[in-house]
Structure 1
Amino acid sequence: MTQMSITIDQSVNAVYIALSDAEVARTVQVNSACLVDLDEFDCLVGVELLNPRGASLSEIQTHVHVRSEDIAPLGQALKMVPAYSMASGSLTSRSQVRVRQDTEFSAA
């Protein structure tokens, strides 16, 4: 089962979606509000959103390769991030949210 983690830093309104624990080889700017980390094989390792609506899945896919098993959970996470980051009091600064492919979510 694919598992990712989402780190929300409300103090700067930024989000990091980690898809893998692979070492980051390089970073690509998708747009002014989205950076993506890639491994040595140019596969997506993580997505940094500098605002909650930083990029859509299709926009990310036009710039980098997203593993097939990561497409659905990443798409769902990108849709949910604005709600989590804007929910006052729901998450504290630097909270962790675990996202599993089976769409169960839990705050850690």
Structure 2
Amino acid sequence: MKNGLYSIHVTLQDGRSGKGSGVVMFRDGKILGGDAYLFYIGSYTVKPGNTFKGEVLIQRHTSSPDANPLFGGPSPVGVGVSGTFDDTSAVMDGTALVGKASQIFRATLRFLADGE
């Protein structure tokens, strides 16, 4: 995974509706990012064949009566992710445990700027 800033666009899977977008930085095994309501902190490892795996904690930083974030509670939500990448983009699948329910999602990432 190329170090840098990426746009991220998330869509819920498994017949559920919901989507979100933000920015995320991948740099030397660390993940940092967020959007208008949530922030993300985590880690990843690159695997052979342009694949990666990681873990992310997602937590709300701002409440809104008008918006319903995908993982919208005040408690942190743990997410396992895996994906494939090339020099300009990535596709990432993840599973978030929200309360006792799992939410499966797919995210597309587009490289925006160098992270060096």
TM-score (norm 1): 0.31
TM-score (norm 2): 0.29
Higher-Rg structure is 2
